[in-house]
Chains A and B, each alone.
Chain A
């Protein structure tokens, strides 16, 4: 039964994703990609859960790698997206030409 609930949630979320992102101007394609990539770093939640419950050395190594990779993805993704978006500026008001 939980599997069915999971699949339901997945399909509905995918529809929301398609609706929300359908019309993004090309200018924002890169930030959208790096920002959504940072969101896929949500797998960090799973990484924390599996590495926090103890177990053998192999489990600890896998857990450490999972947390580290997911954290690179999350921290790097959000920061670099912010850095890019900070650069996107319109024409300064008052200056320029018509």
Chain B
């Protein structure tokens, strides 16, 4: 294909990505936006396949068939509860592919210009960090690796040394162009991705997944500099920007800076201290399914606060079933979604959408937080730190300043939880000990199913 025509086709693809992303930002047009972006990608791939520099198609076809089958199967089979892992893995694949493009270009290279060497080093380093970082995140989300922060003495110093090693290997690669330098760079960057993700705890994963998403975009941009393609540079920059916006939204949801999330190993210390002793001996109001059913059935309004526990218990369908029962009795039911509930941005929305909960019933923290005052029952299912009043009231709390849902301001709070164990942050939750709080100690799914039945019979 003639190069001008190809360039115009790439421009068309990039434009479709921009329009597609724009439309992904609104519920009405989101699906079409995703389809437009997919069409843009198809155009880019077809144009590239028609490139006259391509001499052999065997390897390409093999890669397309294998990758396409794996991707399609994953996309069709994945449980919505496992979506955070899948997104983490996809981030890693994108970063890995960009690093491999740089590696292949480096192998081919005889007397590469300086700027290409620099781009290759950047693309390799960013891509490799994204690859290994994403797979540690995947492991934590999947439960293969412990979700708590992994820390050890001298970690800071070792991490700085690894980072310095990456920079040194990159300079060495650019200056010498030797293969040994290049593979050292790839190895140190891979180690850095692992070392930097291990100390980040499970509840901080929404920030990490969004950040790695941004990194996968930057890696694609860097690969664009390597092969001299504006299409890659533009698309990668768009994704990098989108990921950064989400990262900052998530950090704000926890009232912490990105640096704090990435470097503080939050939750490690609290865990080693165990549960704060001050409230340990206080009584809680432990109640039965029937007590809760009556409380819910005779309420006028209920606000449900779902958390990661809902996802773990796969209880989204049971939740909707209960909400249907309550609505049939004339109870107003709404859902309050904290920005960092779950393990990735928007996790709860996806789960509840899978259970056919209309999205109008899902309200953000800002929209609904003032309504708790006039609500009869707030029903907390598998959430903990995002409803901890110390974040609002106690300036000595480690999570002080994090925006929380004011469930304690409803007439009654019902908390469905397996035990009194503290949440991820390791901080005891005074909500559980309040007089108006009913604690139902059970697995979320079986409790919700039992509640549906009891409400129907009430």
Contact = CB atoms under 8 A, between A and B. Distances in A.
A37 B25 contact: no
Given A21-B25, A47-B101, A82-B34, A26 B90 contact: no
A14 to B, nearest CB: 4
Interface in A40-98: 40-56, 58-60, 62-92, 96-97
A82 B232 contact: no
Contacts of B72: 75-76, 79
Given A51-B60, A54-B56, A71-B68, A80 B41 contact: no
A84 B350 contact: yes
- Residue from the set B21, B44, B76, B108 with the largest chain A CB neighbour count within 10 Å: B21
21 contacts: A9-B230, A9-B233, A10-B236, A26-B249, A26-B345, A30-B347, A32-B242, A37-B91, A39-B21, A41-B93, A41-B94, A44-B41, A50-B108, A52-B53, A52-B57, A67-B64, A76-B86, A77-B90, A80-B75, A85-B31, A87-B354
A68 B72 CA distance: 12
B101 A17 contact: no
Nearest to A3: B115
Interface stretch (B211-219, B303-311, B394-402, B436-444): B211-219
A73 B217 CA distance: 12
A80 B60 CA distance: 23
Given A18-B244, A37-B213, 14 more contacts: A18-B245, A20-B25, A29-B246, A39-B17, A39-B21, A42-B231, A64-B59, A65-B96, A71-B68, A72-B74, A75-B68, A76-B70, A80-B78, A97-B332
B97 A29 contact: no
A42 B239 CA distance: 10
B133 interface: no
A31 B346 contact: yes
Contact of A62 (B30, B107, B246, B350): B107
Contacts of B26: 25, 28
Nearest to B105: A50
Contact of A53 (B35, B55, B332): B55
A63 B89 CA distance: 20
Given A43-B97, A47-B101, A28 B30 contact: yes
Contact of B34 (A42, A64, A85): A85
- Interface range, A side: 35 or more
B18 interface: yes
A84 B353 contact: yes
Interface in B238-294: 238-246, 249
A19 to B, nearest CB: 9
Closest CB pairs A-B (n = 6): A67-B63, A71-B67, A17-B241, A29-B346, A76-B71, A75-B71
- Residue from the set A39, A67, A83, A88 with the largest chain B CB neighbour count within 10 Å: A39
Contacts of A32: 21, 24-25, 242, 246, 345-346
B74 A17 contact: no
Contact of A17 (B63, B104, B226, B238): B238
Nearest to B327: A97
Nearest to A97: B327
A71 B63 contact: yes
B6 to A, nearest CB: 10
Contact of A52 (B10, B59, B115, B350): B59
Contacts of A68: 62-64, 66-67, 70
Contacts of B57: 52
Given A53-B53, A72-B67, A72-B93, A42 B60 contact: no
Given A44-B45, A50-B105, A72-B71, A14 B241 contact: yes
Nearest to B114: A3
Contacts of A13: 14, 233-235, 237-238, 241
Contacts of A31: 24, 30, 34, 346, 350
Contacts of B76: 79, 83
Contact of A49 (B13, B21, B54, B209): B54
B386 to A, nearest CB: 13
A66 B146 CA distance: 30
A43 B64 contact: no
A63 B244 CA distance: 29
Given A67-B63, A80-B74, A10 B221 contact: yes
